[in-house]
């Protein structure tokens, strides 16, 4: 092996978002584009001696090619070992698991999460730190600063590594260890959940359907749900990871997971359904003709954690992203534990978990997890629900409705307007920022505006401050509307509107969320001038 230095020039568009750098595949295929960003990561972390790096991705288009480049650069930058998933496959939760289990210096995860794949689709790369979680803002900002001034990168001249065969490969002074991508993660899940109880449920006639959406969780779901828990083989659908996700959009929601939705809302529906996304960190939970919002899912898991072996010692606290409903807050109050409200982005939960302040975390964007790793975890949430269903011996819908009867229902919905021209989306946000004073105290029918602001967060562990995290319109009765530009897309802008009201009356818990929120939906349209400024009449996705 011979290591060399390549002269390069900076790209100015390599600023990481909430989950790393995401761009279209052709952008990553530009000369030196990937290499510049990877070298900037290595320069920022100043690779310690005898360091191990975890590496893998969700199998989308360009995954294998990027892995070969990163392996050659890791060798030239002085890594001692790189652990890479067989075939280049590694779910985001599994990567976090490996980083923590083997105490590596961190990992590089190749994924654009729930974004579409393929030759013209999206690709992404992010660095996770030694705690297993996404790099905090101070590190991503340093990576971006390095990207803007990079002049050279280091790469080894060596053959490609055989990724499809387990074992060690010596590359000069560096060892590449190709590992089973599922084994360590499956063992961790078995240590947290009552597999015997779940297995008894699944062989008793209780039917499930898991949609892997032709993404990374297919092999994980087959190993855990079918091989270890005894579910029938057809319980897992779309299980083969494909570079273009079979032409689908690997986002587990009611719109894009349509195969699963049709099954769970059809005749002879199974008892339980779930889906995960491109890199395996998100989840959607369904019962027979019944959808569980991610906000409710977090609250219900917290209220029932005492039923799950890995959490029977009690919860230190709960954390939720600001746009997530306050359902978890009500559970935390009943349990006598704190509930933290953070900006969107799993990295904000890392400090809280490392400090022992929280056990469970969740985001309304179909992400749920705990302190077992430092990422959200789709299959973990599915197993938590199955463990709970096995212990309570009730249907999913009954469990949710009993939860609402006890705590009240936080009626909640998110409206996504995807692919809006950035100028139009920014115009909406500028209008809202300029309306804070004029909106305060305004009456909309029975609703009166109490406060308008742009959410900011001071980390209770390290004191860091994050501003500009979403416009909040808060009403005197506790209802709210939140407007936020998403940081996970690659084309145009995605404007998200979050709507929430609290309904204590059990007699109204059966009402459709869109019907219950119709007044808030109308107010949101009026105060944002959304239709006028963007030309959009309907959301792209409603959840």
For position 514, what pLDDT does the model report? 93
Paired tokens of 399: 């469990």
Q: Give the number of other CB atoms < 10 A from CB of residue 43.
A: 17
Per-residue pLDDT at 17 = 83
- Give the pLDDT score at 172: 85
What is the homologous superfamily of the domain 185-407 according to CATH? Alpha-D-Glucose-1,6-Bisphosphate, subunit A, domain 3 (3.40.120.10)
Pinpoint the residues of the chain covered by CATH 3.40.120.10.
2-180, 185-407
Question: How far apart are the C-alpha atoms of 313 and 122, rounded to whole Å?
Answer: 42
Which tens digits make up the pLDDT trace of 354-366? 999 999 999 998 9
Question: Which of 428, 442, 445, 430 has the alpha carbon at shortest distance from 473?
Answer: 442
Quick one: fold of 2-180?
A: Alpha-D-Glucose-1,6-Bisphosphate; Chain A, domain 3 (3.40.120)
> Residues of the chain with pLDDT > 90: what percent?
88
Q: Provide the strand spans (E) within 367-458.
A: 367-370, 409-420, 443-444, 447-454, 457-458
Q: Is 197 a catalytic residue?
A: no
pLDDT band for position 347 (cuts 50, 70, 90): confident
- Say which of 96, 113, 297, 321 is annotated catalytic: 113
Q: Which two tokens stand for residue 463?
A: 């004191």
Exposure string (b/e) for 181-219, b if CB count within 10 Å is 16 or more? bbebbbebbeebbbbebbbebbeeebbbbbbbbbbbbbb
- What local confidence, expressed as pLDDT, does residue 1 receive? 67
| CB-CB contact of 105 with 3 (8 Å) | no
Q: Of 3.30.310.50, 3.20.20.100, 3.40.50.10420, 3.40.50.300, which CATH number belongs to 409-542?
A: 3.30.310.50
How confident is the model at residue 491, as a pLDDT?
A: 64
What are the residue ranges of CATH 3.30.310.50 in the chain?
Answer: 409-542
CA angle 332, 407, 453 (to 5 degrees): 65
Q: What is the pLDDT of residue 204?
A: 93
> Does residue 348 surpass a pLDDT of 60?
yes
For 135-160, the pLDDT digits (tens) are 988 999 999 999 999 999 999 999 99
Is the pLDDT confidence value at 537 over 90?
no
Q: What is the mean pLDDT of residues 106-120?
A: 94
298 contacts: CB under 8 Å, gap ≥ 6: 318, 320, 324, 327, 328, 360, 361, 362, 368
pLDDT at 490 over 70: no
Place of tokens 């077992």: 372
Alpha-carbon separation of residue 372 from 101, 228, 247 (angstroms)? 11, 20, 33
Q: Which residues contact 41 (CB under 8 A, 6 or more apart)?
A: 108, 127, 143
* 518-532 mean pLDDT: 92
pLDDT of residue 471: 94
Q: pLDDT tens digits, residue range 206-228?
A: 999 999 999 999 999 999 999 99
pLDDT tens by residue, 274-328: 999 999 999 999 999 999 999 999 999 999 999 999 999 999 999 999 999 999 9
Map residue 266 onto helix, strand or coil.
Answer: coil
The whole-model pTM stands at 0.93
402-440 pLDDT per residue, tens: 999 999 999 999 999 988 988 999 999 999 999 999 999
Q: Are 128 and 298 in contact (CB under 8 A)?
A: no
């Amino acid at each position: 092996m011979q290591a060399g230095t390549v002269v390069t020039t900076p790209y100015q568009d390599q600023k990481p978002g909430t989950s790393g750098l995401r761009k279209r595949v052709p952008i990553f295929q530009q000369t030196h584009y990937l290499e510049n960003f990877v070298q900037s990561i290595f320069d920022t972390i100043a690779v310690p001696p005898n360091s191990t790096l975890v590496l893998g991705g969700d199998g989308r288009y360009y995954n294998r090619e990027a892995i070969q480049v990163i392996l050659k650069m890791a060798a030239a930058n002085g890594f001692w070992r790189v652990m890479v998933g067989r075939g280049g496959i590694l779910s985001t939760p599994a990567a976090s698991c490996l980083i923590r289990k083997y105490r590596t210096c961190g990992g590089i995860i190749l994924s654009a999460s729930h974004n579409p794949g393929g030759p013209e689709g999206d690709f992404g790369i992010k660095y996770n730190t030694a705690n297993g979680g996404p790099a905090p803002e101070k590190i991503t900002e340093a990576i971006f600063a390095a990207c803007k001034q990079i002049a050279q990168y280091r790469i080894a001249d060596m053959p490609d590594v055989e990724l499809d065969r387990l074992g060690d490969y010596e590359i000069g002074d560096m060892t590449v260890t190709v590992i089973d991508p599922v084994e360590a993660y499956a063992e961790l899940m078995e240590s947290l959940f009552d597999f015997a109880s779940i297995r008894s449920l699944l062989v008793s006639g209780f039917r499930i359907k898991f949609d892997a959406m032709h993404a990374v969780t297919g092999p994980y779901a087959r190993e855990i749900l079918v091989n270890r828990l005894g579910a029938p083989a057809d319980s897992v659908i779309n299980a083969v990871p494909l570079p273009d996700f079979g032409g689908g959009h690997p986002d587990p929601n009611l719109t894009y997971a349509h195969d699963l939705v049709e099954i769970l809302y059809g005749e002879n529906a199974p008892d339980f359904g779930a889906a995960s996304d491109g890199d395996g960190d998100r989840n959607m939970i369904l019962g027979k003709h019944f959808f569980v919002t991610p906000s409710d899912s977090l609250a219900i898991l917290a209220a029932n954690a005492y039923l799950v072996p890995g959490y029977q010692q009690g919860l230190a606290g709960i954390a939720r992203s600001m746009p997530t409903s306050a359902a978890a807050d009500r559970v935390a109050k009943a349990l006598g534990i704190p509930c933290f409200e953070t900006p969107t982005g799993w990295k904000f939960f890392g400090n809280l978990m490392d400090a022992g302040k929280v056990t469970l975390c969740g985001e309304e964007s179909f992400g749920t997890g705990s302190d077992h790793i430092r990422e959200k975890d789709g299959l973990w949430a599915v197993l938590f629900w199955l463990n709970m269903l096995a212990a309570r011996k009730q249907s999913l819908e009954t469990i949710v409705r009993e939860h609402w009867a006890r705590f009240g229902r936080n009626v909640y919905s998110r409206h996504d307007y995807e692919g809006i021209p950035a100028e139009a989306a920014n115009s909406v946000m500028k209008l809202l920022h300029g309306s804070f004073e004029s909106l305060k105290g305004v009456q909309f029918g029975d609703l009166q505006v109490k406060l308008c602001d742009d959410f900011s967060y001071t980390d209770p562990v390290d004191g860091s401050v994050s501003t500009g995290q979403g416009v909040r319109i808060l009403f005197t009765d506790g209802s709210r509307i939140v407007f936020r530009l998403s940081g996970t897309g690659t084309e145009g802008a995605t404007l998200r509107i979050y709507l929430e009201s609290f309904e204590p009356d059990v007699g109204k818990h059966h009402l459709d969320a869109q019907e219950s929120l119709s007044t808030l939906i109308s107010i949101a349209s009026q105060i944002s001038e959304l239709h006028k400024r963007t030309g959009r009449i309907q959301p792209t996705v409603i959840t």
